[in-house]
């Protein structure tokens, strides 16, 4: 990716033998590149495949690694249209081949009519979301394990329009408000039209009222909350039986981007792009929530869009 190219998104493949990167060149034309990684998990130049991505965005690879989905958004006469495109991963080389049929068409709408939102923990469903007159609706679609095609949309949860949402083993919803005393964070089971199990206000945990960039770990037992004042990322514990969210006391320093960190495939390592221009590695203990930095941070050369990966 020659300068002044810049990275828009990266995704390690399961077991991290390949890295998929969406990037834009100096003319702001988007591309999707596939890189092999070496035995240490570091991507190798040159790319083994580069596709012109055009208006494609939101690369989502199914956890098992056979299929990837991307969103294509176009506009016409002040109306927006969205299409979900399916790509098969050609084994064992990691290259992508597009499936001939579209997997969803949304719109027209005066704003983006749909967004992709990731997968269920077992990889059996793809989530998508749309803005509606009353707020936002989050839906789930069954994935055909044989060819990756998607089933019909089915509503998962309907919300107002000002929340920060994380969907995994549970659903976490942070209701933001300029008055912290009016803000709160709710936990729901990951079932269609769920009933709330935890209601966390500032009285229970201050971060429930002020946090941004909420993310769940793979188990759904821990919630990562970014403190706007310090930008430190705090690890909190979700205690369903006691209906509480508790600060574990573990955290990592501020990141240089939002969200700025990502889990490896089994959730044992957190990659964090930090303000020193390096990617730092944190080992994550899914039983205690502890984060322990280890390994030599890797520099990210400006304009390259390279991200490390980790072999299982």
pLDDT tens-digit readout, 98-118: 999 999 999 999 888 999 988
Residue 270's nearest CA partner among 62, 238, 259 is 259
Is the model more confident about 95 or about 11?
Answer: 95
Is the model more confident about 79 or about 253?
Answer: 79
pLDDT in tens, 245-300: 999 999 988 665 555 777 877 788 887 777 776 778 889 999 999 999 887 777 65
Instruction: Calculate the alpha carbon distances from 143 to 127, 147, 304 in Å.
Output: 10, 8, 33
What integer is the mean pLDDT of 174-201? 92
275: Cβ contacts below 8 Å, ≥ 6 apart: 253, 254, 255, 256
Residue 96 has pLDDT above 90, yes or no: yes
Question: 118-136: buried (b, 16+ CB within 10 Å) or exposed (e) per residue?
Answer: bbbbebebbbbbbbeeeeb
Predicted local confidence at residue 312, as pLDDT = 40
Residue 306 has pLDDT above 70, yes or no: no
Is the model more confident about 160 or about 245?
Answer: 245
What pTM, to 2 d.p., does this model score? 0.81
Residue 305 has pLDDT above 50, yes or no: no
Residue 202 has pLDDT above 90, yes or no: yes
**Which pLDDT band holds residue 56 (cuts at 50, 70, 90)?**
confident
Predicted local confidence at residue 150, as pLDDT = 98
Percent of the chain scoring above 90 in pLDDT: 45
User: In the structure encoding, which two tokens stand for residue 230, read together?
Assistant: 């310090």
Mean pLDDT of the chain: 85
Percent of the chain scoring above 70 in pLDDT: 90
């Amino acid at each position: 990716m020659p300068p002044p190219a810049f990275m828009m998104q990266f995704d390690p493949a399961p077991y991290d033998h390949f890295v998929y990167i969406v990037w834009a060149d100096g003319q702001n034309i988007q591309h999707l590149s596939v890189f092999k990684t070496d035995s240490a998990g570091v991507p190798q130049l040159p790319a083994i495949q580069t596709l012109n991505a055009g208006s494609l965005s939101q690369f989502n690879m199914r956890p098992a690694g056979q299929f990837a989905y991307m969103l294509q958004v176009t506009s016409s006469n002040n109306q927006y249209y969205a299409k979900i495109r399916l790509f098969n991963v050609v084994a064992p080389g990691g290259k992508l081949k597009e499936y001939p049929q579209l997997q969803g068409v949304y719109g027209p709408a005066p704003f983006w009519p749909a967004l992709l939102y990731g997968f269920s923990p077992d990889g059996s469903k793809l989530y998508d979301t749309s803005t509606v007159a009353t707020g936002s609706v989050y839906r789930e679609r069954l994935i055909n394990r044989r060819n990756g095609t998607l089933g019909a949309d089915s509503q998962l949860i309907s919300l107002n329009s000002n929340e920060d949402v994380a969907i995994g083993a549970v659903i976490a919803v942070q209701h933001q408000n300029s008055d912290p005393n009016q803000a709160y964070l709710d936990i729901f089971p990951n079932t269609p039209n769920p009933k709330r199990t935890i209601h966390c206000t500032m009285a229970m945990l201050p971060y429930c009222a002020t946090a941004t960039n909420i993310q769940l770990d793979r188990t759904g037992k821990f919630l990562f909350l970014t403190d706007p004042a310090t930008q430190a990322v705090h690890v909190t514990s979700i205690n369903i039986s006691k209906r509480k969210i508790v600060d574990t006391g573990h955290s990592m320093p501020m990141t240089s981007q939002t969200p700025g960190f990502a889990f490896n495939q089994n959730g044992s390592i957190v990659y964090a792009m930090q303000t020193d221009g390096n990617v730092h590695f944190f080992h994550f203990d899914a039983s205690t929530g502890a984060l322990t930095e280890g390994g030599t941070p890797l520099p990210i050369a400006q304009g390259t869009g390279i991200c490390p990966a980790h072999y299982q």
